[in-house]
């Protein structure tokens, strides 16, 4: 099942929260900053040992003070016009996050709108890529029973609803 909600992803009661990180995994602004602030310093301490993460890949840490068990740090692509592998990399973030959740025994996963903030990926183009990749990965990993996409506002949610409906 895929759900779309408006809220603050740091407040989600799920097994795994996906972070929209950068390849250093050493924190930043946006949802990354919010997750590190709410989860506390243990997440960054674990990230320091991971040696960064390539674009399109995902690495797991504990979730500190968050109610989740894990944070799955996904590195989305910076938008460069769409011909530099961005759709494949964005899809890979979702595929790899579901695979990693399954391997960790996490059954419920919350996603932010990866790459659509600071990284500039147009929402209308990101939404179908994110939804399709997540649906496909959940078919392969049925133990992951819920992916909940959490948005800050209705304008961000709307293209994902359209993608889910089509
Ligand atoms: N809950 C849910 N969504 C949120 C929250 C929150 N608490 N806070 C922000 N968003 P961004 P990116 C939304 O910029 O584009 C960081 O500095 C936000 O409104 O967080 O992948 C990293 O370190 C937007 O819709 O992620 C990287 O350097 C969405 O989350 C870079 O930004 C994603 O926006 C990654 O950029």
Question: Residue 75 C-alpha to ligand 1 middle, in angstroms?
Answer: 11
Percent of the chain with pLDDT over 90: 99
Integer angstrom CA distances of residue 49 from 52, 93, 100, 153, 159 = 8, 20, 18, 34, 36
Query: What average pLDDT does the segment 36-56 reach?
Result: 98
Choose the catalytic residue: 15, 32, 49, 143. Answer: 32
Q: What is the DSSP letter of 9?
A: G
**Tokens in use for 107?**
């059954």
Q: Whose CA is nearest to atom 5 of ligand 1?
A: 31
Q: Whose CA is nearest to atom 23 of ligand 1?
A: 28
Q: Tell me how long the chain is.
A: 166
Taking the model in full, what pTM does it have?
Answer: 0.98
Q: Is the CB of 34 under 6 A from ligand 1?
A: yes
DSSP labels for 29-73? SHHHHHHHHHH-HHHHHHHHTTT---TT-EEEEE-TTSSSSEEEE
Residue 84 confidence (pLDDT) = 98
CA angle, corner 2, sides to 156 and 40, nearest 5?
Answer: 70
Ligand 1 atom index nearest CA of 156: 25
Question: Residue 11 C-alpha to ligand 1 middle, in angstroms?
Answer: 15
Active site residue 32: yes
Q: Is the CB of 116 under 6 A from ligand 1?
A: yes
**Tokens in use for 128?**
């179908």
Q: Is the CB of 64 under 6 A from ligand 1?
A: no
Ligand 1 atom index nearest CA of 10: 7
Greatest CA separation for the chain: 41
Q: Is the CB of 53 under 6 A from ligand 1?
A: no
49-101: pLDDT as tens digits = 999 999 999 999 999 999 999 999 999 999 999 999 999 999 999 999 999 99
* Burial (CB count <10 Å: 0-12, 13-18, 19+), residue 103: exposed
Whether 166 shows a pLDDT value over 80: the answer reads no
């Amino acid at each position: 099942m895929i759900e779309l909600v408006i809220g603050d992803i740091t407040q989600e009661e799920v097994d795994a929260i996906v972070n929209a990180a950068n390849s250093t995994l050493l924190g930043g602004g946006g949802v990354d900053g919010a997750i590190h602030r709410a989860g506390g310093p243990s997440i960054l301490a674990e990230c320091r040992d991971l040696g960064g993460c390539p674009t399109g890949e995902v690495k797991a840490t504990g979730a500190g003070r968050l109610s989740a068990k894990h944070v799955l740090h996904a590195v989305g692509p910076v938008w460069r016009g769409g011909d530099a592998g961005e759709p494949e990399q964005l899809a890979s973030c979702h595929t790899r996050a579901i695979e990693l959740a399954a391997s960790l025994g996490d059954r419920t996963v919350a996603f932010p709108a990866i790459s659509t903030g600071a990284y500039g990926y147009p929402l209308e183009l990101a939404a179908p890529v994110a939804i399709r990749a997540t649906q496909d990965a959940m078919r392969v990993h049925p133990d992951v029973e819920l992916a909940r996409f959490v948005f800050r506002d209705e304008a961000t949610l709307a293209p994902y609803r359209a993608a889910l409906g089509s």
